[in-house]
């Protein structure tokens, strides 16, 4: 059975294909469009959802690749209420799956839903699956954490029982970095967590920022997509963020001093320190294995991955641990459940995707750029 995994919609759009237990395609659309992340609201007018360039390219790629008997695997929650999803759903002949307003279906990693040849798991299960079926270990722990992914912000599990430990309240580091990015650099940048992480190396601990960040974590801000939180879909970014207005109100009260660059670097350094402390404190009592997989957008934080070596002998983080890996993750999960394959044929997943040839012309271009 051939499986096509898709991650479409908000950002990091991607496609993956598994055939005969082998990954034959795993491709992120920004490699085609050269538009980083390509959020659907990058060019939105009045916050109206539009069909982004990466979704358009994905749509065309899907039409080219798909065969009539393919199973389509999608991650996350698909909402037919906006035009973007409707267009994609038409493309995959998707019938809305009633997941109910509950996370009870997603308490064990074994769970999935399939209807009309559309296979479905929730967002973090796809993150976990990407690490779960590509790591080199026999048994292992997995930590998946990001900003928002229905129904969780962060989960932990051990491969012996696959029972989900919900860390959404204690470990919403993705939101902390996202809000910090907006606070320091402005919302138009959408998501500059990586830039903040780089800046962390140039600062030192600011105790006032330290207390502020620790207080925010203790407030146990949760995933806004979670049941019980209330629907925020269809609202503007500012309205959504109104939910977290305390963060921005309190952040604006911080004493920035006269040197705004020093404050910026010190804030980033402190954010990194608080993040490392939070992860380590949480993981110590949870640890069941000597091997760990980290995945989800926050797993891009290499300093935390390094720090986790204080607890674990081995730490594995797959290359597209952010949302671009969701398409392959959900396809791997479907390959496990529908085709009964737990380990994939591919020995190395680091070099999947589009191939680039090094031409003499390209080398000349790079040399010219370096000289400039």
**Least separation, in Å, of the C-beta of 185 and Fe ion?**
21
**Least separation, in Å, of the C-beta of 123 and Fe ion?**
6
**Least separation, in Å, of the C-beta of 146 and Fe ion?**
4
Site of interaction with Fe ion (CB under 5 A):
146, 149, 323
Question: 209 vs 300, which CB is nearer to Fe ion?
Answer: 300
Ranked by CB distance to Fe ion, the top (closest) residue is 146
**Least separation, in Å, of the C-beta of 191 and Fe ion?**
12
Residue pair 305/282 in contact (Cβ under 8 Å)? The answer is: no
Question: 77 vs 264, which CB is nearer to Fe ion?
Answer: 77
- How many residues make up the chain in this entry? 372
**Least separation, in Å, of the C-beta of 102 and Fe ion?**
20
**Least separation, in Å, of the C-beta of 76 and Fe ion?**
8
- Written in H, E and C, the secondary structure of the chain is CCEEEEECCCCCCEEEEEECCEEEEEEECHHHHCCCCCCCCCCCCCCCCCCCHHHHHHHHHHHHHCCCCCEEEEECCCCCCCHHHHHHHHHHCCCCCCCCCCCHHHCECCCCEEECCEEEECHHHHHHHHHHCCCCCCCCEEEEEEEEECCEEEEEEECCCCECEECCCCCCHHHHHHHHHHHHHCHHHCCCHHHHHHHHHHCCCCHHHHHHHHHHHHCCCCCCCCCCCCCCCCCCHHHHHHCCHHHHHHHHCCCCCCCHHHHHHHHHHHHHHHHHHHHHHHHHHHCCCCEEEEECHHHHCHHHHHHHHHCCCEEECCCCCCHHHHHHHHHHHHHHHCCCCCCCCCCCCCCCCCCCCCCHHHHHHHHHHHHC
Question: 5 vs 149, which CB is nearer to Fe ion?
Answer: 149
Question: 61 vs 322, which CB is nearer to Fe ion?
Answer: 322
Question: 123 vs 307, which CB is nearer to Fe ion?
Answer: 123
**Least separation, in Å, of the C-beta of 29 and Fe ion?**
16
Question: 149 vs 203, which CB is nearer to Fe ion?
Answer: 149
Question: 251 vs 332, which CB is nearer to Fe ion?
Answer: 332
**Least separation, in Å, of the C-beta of 148 and Fe ion?**
7
Question: 53 vs 323, which CB is nearer to Fe ion?
Answer: 323
């Amino acid at each position: 059975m051939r499986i096509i995994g898709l991650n479409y919609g908000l950002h990091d759009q991607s496609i993956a294909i598994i055939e005969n237990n082998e990954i034959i395609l795993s491709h992120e659309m920004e490699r085609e469009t050269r538009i980083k992340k390509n959020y659907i609201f990058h060019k939105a007018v009045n916050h109206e959802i539009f069909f982004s360039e990466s979704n358009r390219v994905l749509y065309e790629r899907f039409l080219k690749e798909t065969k009539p008997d393919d199973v389509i695997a999608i991650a996350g929650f698909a909402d037919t209420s906006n035009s973007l999803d409707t267009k994609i759903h038409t493309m995959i002949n998707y019938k809305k799956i009633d997941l109910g307003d509950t996370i009870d279906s997603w308490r064990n990693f074994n769970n999935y839903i399939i209807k009309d040849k559309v296979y479905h798991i929730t967002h973090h299960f796809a993150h976990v699956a990407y690490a779960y079926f590509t790591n080199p270990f026999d048994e292992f722990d997995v930590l998946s954490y990001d900003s928002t992914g229905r129904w969780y912000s962060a989960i932990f599990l051990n491969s012996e029982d696959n029972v989900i430990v919900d860390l959404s309240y204690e470990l919403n580091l993705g939101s902390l970095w996202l809000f910090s990015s907006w606070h320091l650099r402005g919302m138009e940048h959408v998501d500059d967590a990586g830039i903040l992480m780089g800046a962390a190396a140039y600062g030192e601990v600011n105790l006032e920022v330290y207390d502020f960040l620790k207080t925010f974590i203790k407030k146990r801000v949760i995933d806004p997509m979670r049941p019980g939180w209330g629907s925020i879909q269809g609202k503007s970014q500012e309205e959504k963020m109104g939910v977290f207005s305390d963060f921005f109100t309190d952040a604006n009260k911080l004493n920035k001093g006269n040197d705004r660059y020093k404050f910026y670097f010190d804030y980033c350094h402190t954010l990194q320190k608080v993040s490392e402390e939070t992860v380590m404190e949480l993981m110590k009592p949870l640890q069941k294995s000597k091997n760990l997989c980290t995945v989800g957008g926050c797993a891009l934080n290499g300093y935390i991955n390094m720090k986790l070596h204080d607890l674990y002998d081995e730490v594995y983080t797959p290359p597209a641990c952010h949302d671009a890996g969701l398409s392959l993750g959900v396809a791997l999960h479907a390959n496990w459940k529908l085709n009964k394959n737990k380990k994939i044929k591919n020995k190395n997943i680091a070099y999947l995707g589009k191939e680039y040839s090094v031409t003499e012309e390209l080398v000349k271009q790079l040399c010219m750029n370096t000289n400039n």
